Structure 1
Amino acid sequence: MEAKSFNLFDKKMTVHHIYIAEKHNFYGHHGKDPGDYPMIELDEVECEKGMGIIGDRFYNYKPDYKGQITFFSLEVFEDIGKQFGLADLCPSVFRRNIIVSGTDLNSLIGKAFSVQGIDFLGTQEAAPCYWMNGAVAPGAEEAMKGRGGLRAKILTSGTLRKESRTS
């Protein structure tokens, strides 16, 4: 797949939350109970080219892995919370690394883009699975179809930071 360049400026995409997990709760647990490894919220993470987020469960997972980092839309998170009447829903329940606002993540599939000076390649939707029905609410998997977030490869190393914006 040939990547098309697409530059995101900080004004368009804001990083609201950053999460890592040391181990998997759902991935590789089909037919078993989920794990109980928490998502850890951080103010910043080190993204390593071709490897992933240092300290995350997918770091150095396998060569050329398409999900070295995942992005999820704050707008989708808020919509799911409203749709299911979950006022106390936390974005970590979706088990995505970077919660952002200001862009259509699906538009980045197959494209190279930059966030805070770090280059990424959007590879595919982080499609929701049946575990979302238990982690969020019955029907969440269906409600998230086409809105599950973005899997990406890390093309350049750097530090990604949570932002606080009032504008």
Structure 2
Amino acid sequence: MTEVEVLQLLVSPAHRMSGRPSDGVSPGPSDERVSRVEVRSELGLVGDRYYARPAHRNAAVTIMAAENLPPDADLRHTRRNILLRGIDIDAHVGATISLDCGTGPVVFAVKRPARPCAWMDVTIGPGAQRALRGRGGVRCSPLSDGVLTLGPATFRVVAGADTPS
């Protein structure tokens, strides 16, 4: 087990970064970050644009390490859902992990890397897409229901990917 911190949670009801990055981000809520999120097995985050969407069931939730972001960037710039401090989440592709914020563990299958796109150069700054290659977070499928909140959490590798965390 590893003690981590959930720094930010983002639930975005609309896909605000579509089309060409040069067109800019579409209007939407000024802040889609939340302090608490409900996770549903095989469906995703309640209220998120990818919740229960068949095309995204294997990658409905994205998790990123805060250590990989510039200090002034946050989840609104990356389109990721969960920002963790204290674990190299990118090293856990292929593993089954759990996050417990004190309300019980929420289990995720870490399916694949969340590759940075050209939007990163617009929302974070020039060169961000290249700088985040291999460090852009992971796309996950939730395997259990539960609640995640901001603050201290316990990270554990349940199975797979040679990790004694």
Alignment of 1:144 with 2:132, yes or no, is: yes
Shift of 1:161: 1.0
Structure 2 Cα separation of the partners of residues 92 and 120 of structure 1: 22
Structure 1 Cα separation of the partners of residues 89 and 120 of structure 2: 19
My pick for the range that moved more, 57-66 or 122-131, is: 57-66
Kindly provide the CA deviation profile for residues 34-63 of structure 1, in whole angstroms up to 9, marking residues without a partner as x. Answer: 422345111110000000000011101116
Q: In structure 1, what is the equivalent of residue 15 of structure 2?
A: 24
- 8 Å contact kept, 1:21–1:37: no
Question: Aligned runs of 1:45-64 on 2, under 5 Å?
Answer: 45-62=37-54
> Scaled by the length of structure 2, what TM-score is found?
0.80
Shift of 1:31: 7.6
Question: Aligned runs of 1:1-167 on 2, under 5 Å?
Answer: 9=1, 11=3, 13-27=4-18, 29-30=19-20, 33=23, 34-38=25-29, 39-62=31-54, 65-77=57-69, 80-81=70-71, 88-116=72-100, 117-163=105-151
Match of 2:108, as an amino acid?
Answer: F
- SS at the partner of 1:24? coil
My pick for the range that moved more, 31-40 or 129-138, is: 31-40
Q: What root-mean-square deviation, in Å, do the aligned CA atoms of Structure 1 and Structure 2 show?
A: 2.1
- SS at the partner of 1:134? helix
Structure-2 change in CA distance of 1:108 and 1:149 (3 Å): same
- 8 Å contact kept, 1:10–1:115: no
How many residue pairs are counted as aligned between the two chains?
Answer: 147
Structure 2 Cα separation of the partners of residues 19 and 125 of structure 1: 18
Residue identity (%): 27
